[in-house]
């Protein structure tokens, strides 16, 4: 897992693609109003962009929100199977791990490094 969460952290996936320009306050608003959930409970709320190249996880930690963000230069994230109704559905940690680590792309790691170096 690329993010630092405790073993008892629960994750909820927002089933609709999200504008990845949204920040902490906008994502919190989605959790609170659309999902009718308590974003202050320490759970992780997972959002993915329309192109599936970006993923964000919103979580309350003691004094404030933390927003984890990972954007892919090549490839895209796979989507989890949606088993329930509602704006959010619970996502098991191992499924989130697979989703984040099983990136769909046809390019090699060398191509990723070369692309990253050429943009610096």
Per-residue pLDDT tens for 57-79? 999 988 899 999 988 888 888 88
Confidence check: pLDDT of 113 > 70: no
pLDDT at 1: 43
Q: Which residues pair with 104 in a beta bridge?
A: 76
Per-residue pLDDT tens for 13-40? 999 999 999 999 999 999 999 999 999 9
Please choose, from the candidates 31, 48, 49, the residue with its C-alpha nearest in 3D space to the C-alpha of residue 40.
31
Q: What is the pTM of this model?
A: 0.79
Alpha carbon separation from 50 to 6, 26, 41, 54 (Å, rounded):
28, 16, 27, 8
């Amino acid at each position: 897992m690329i993010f630092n969460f405790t073993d008892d952290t629960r994750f909820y996936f927002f089933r609709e693609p999200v504008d990845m320009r949204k920040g902490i306050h906008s994502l919190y608003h989605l959790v609170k109003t659309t999902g009718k959930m308590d974003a202050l409970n320490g759970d992780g709320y997972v959002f993915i962009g329309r192109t599936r190249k970006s993923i964000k996880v919103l979580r309350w930690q003691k004094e404030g929100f933390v927003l984890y963000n990972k954007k892919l230069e090549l490839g895209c994230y796979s989507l989890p199977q949606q088993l329930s109704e509602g704006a959010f559905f619970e996502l098991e940690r191992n499924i989130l791990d697979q989703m984040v680590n099983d990136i769909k792309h046809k390019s090699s790691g060398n191509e990723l490094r070369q692309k990253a170096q050429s943009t610096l």
